Structure 1
């Protein structure tokens, strides 16, 4: 089967990225596979980005520019707007400050023809900082058969940009980007895809075709995830995830959900006791017993009851932290091998 004439929709949210979005757009324009539409959705840029995107729209009729016309603000709303207007049989969600190899779209659509029964395929990606190839951290690698388990423990083996989706699969299953979330958007999107029954595979033997810029993508977000606004989003995400997973699998993944709750609690600090209590109240509903609950209870006793310094009481949860850091260090530092 050949998909040589099938259109690919590329959805990219943009906000004040004038200095870096050119790199992504130019890499799209230089794709070996030419049957694509680029849907740029501006999220209220004020630095001249929108005007620059208008010039690109004039130069190539495959490029369409939209301004976000509804609330809430954020990349997740822009991606949904892009999904609504997408005409392609396949769709990808890329970030504005990243880069794709010239063979990216060709590789992805060729692989989709090899997996006619899947709803999306996962492709390899690599981080970079200033120059493509300057960081040896990889994404989209095969780890085990239970990706949902890893996502629930807040490991991120796949992201939005590692995947190519069948547009109709997303629309048929009613999968949307959750516009209430301030962070964890990619994790939530992939969890919902799996819970709603979308079938996927890794594109075995594929080359790295996507490069994810670390500083501009993650730096500001990493600071914001510790704000009150993001804490409210964490509680919402955790509550929603528990309910969604329980509806499909009952208590099968409660250990993973417990670890996810611990991960969120560790993010808290002394001024956010309401946030920590909210997380703990959700964790208490899980069917986890033994040493994990004992450690968490000791942590909360030290911190909430006796007022121990948060850094000291977090030592109690050190085993979970070490396990997470060790796994992430091993996973992302591996040379990519899809075979």
Structure 2
């Protein structure tokens, strides 16, 4: 392995981790984008989640030509992209980690710029860069994933309006290990959970406006149907995840009014789905827990309970309740904090 000055070195500085399963045509493009980096001290760990499309043969060929490419076949019963990401981080040797999905691309200077930024700022746990969204070729949509750099990033993750996606950050590996990586016990939302834990724990980070990577906007149908989202198993899992989010936020720098409101909104969303699935009593029980946890005001609790009961009715009354609940959720989201209202 040679660095930018042509010196031979065996130790990578940055590890790129890519989970994949049966995406070989797109994976080739992602691999090529890493191979084209101007910074040479990288390793690319591709963790295969069970491909049968020739991925193993392609990676064997590339690894033989360039030992910086490392192919890992996932073993064990647990599967999924974040399981593979955890495997990749544990096997990595670099000081820094970048996650790259198998259908996304890095610009040639991406790793050089990211490593230089982290080296200049020894206090940073991670830094994020701007994301360009494309469909077939880089820049074809002329869109950024999220142009807004400021604001309360933890609050946005709580509202599931992620200000950045998995490829945007460069992590100090020690920071990821302090977070204990992705929570493999969660059935979903593991990436949101990771970023919520990082922000709530007060990790030091920086957001940069430069675009250095490109995320493919695939128009694939949603794999989770409404019926699946309203199944008891899915809703019970959602409750467990929200309880974890709440505990993480409470353990962090403080539970602001806005963050309380975001958690209330998420709990109401799950309660509303219980009602829509025909389990009004369970939905109301969950909403009562929000009151007992002292999230939100008594008026908010009363309004939410009334809307849940109305939504659970049959016929026009139930449809009206659902429309009012939808408007109320929007009001909860957009309403300013009390001191801003008084001003």
Give the shorter-chain TM-score range.
Answer: 0.7 to 0.9
Structure 2 residue 264 is the aligned partner of structure 1 residue 258: yes
Tell me: CA distance 1:47–1:163, structure 2 relative to 1, closer, same or farther (3 Å).
same
Are residue 316 (structure 1) and residue 321 (structure 2) matched?
no
Residue 176 of structure 1, aligned match among 177, 181, 193: 181
Conservation of the 8 A alpha-carbon contact between 1:42 and 1:68: yes
Q: Deviations over 1:268-326 (max 9, x none)?
A: 6733638745753553434211554344222211123x245775433123335546999
CA drift at 1:48:
2.8
| Partner residue in 2 for 1:65 | 71
Aligned to 1:337: none
**Residue 298 of structure 1 aligns with which residue?**
306
Q: Which runs of 5+ in 2 are unaligned?
A: 336-343
Provide Cα deviations, 1:214-252, integer angstroms capped at 9, x if missing partner: 216x74456587364544432221111112222335643
Matched, 1:213 2:216: yes
The higher relative CO (CA closer than 8 Å, separation ≥ 6) is in: 1
Partner of 1:88: 94
Partners of 2:319 and 2:133 lie apart in 1 by 30
TM-score by length of 2: 0.81
Secondary structure in 1 aligned to 2:115?
Answer: helix
Return the alpha-carbon distance in structure 2 between the equivalents of residues 8 and 308 of structure 1: 59
Matched, 1:33 2:76: no
Q: Contact 2:307 / 2:325 at 8 angstroms: preserved in 1?
A: yes
Which residue of 183, 190, 193 corresponds with 1:185?
190
**What is the number of equivalent residue pairs in this alignment?**
319
| CA shift digits 1:150-209 (9 cap, x unpaired) | 2112221122211001112222x2431011233322211101112233211112xx4211
Does the alignment pair 1:142 with 2:149?
Answer: yes
CA-to-aligned-CA distance 1:58-81 (integer Å, 9 cap, x gap) = 221001111112332111111111
Does the alignment pair 1:245 with 2:249? Answer: yes
Deviation at 1:107, TM superposition (A): 1.6
Q: TM-score of the superposition, structure 1-length normalised?
A: 0.82
1:190–1:320 distance in 2 versus 1, CA, 3 Å = farther
Aligned Cα root-mean-square deviation (Å): 3.1
- How far apart in 2 are the matches of 1:79 and 1:43? 10
Structure 1 residues 80-89 or 310-319, which shifts more? 310-319
| Shift in alpha-carbon separation, 1:195–1:326, aligned structure 2, 3 A | closer
Shift of 1:127: 1.7
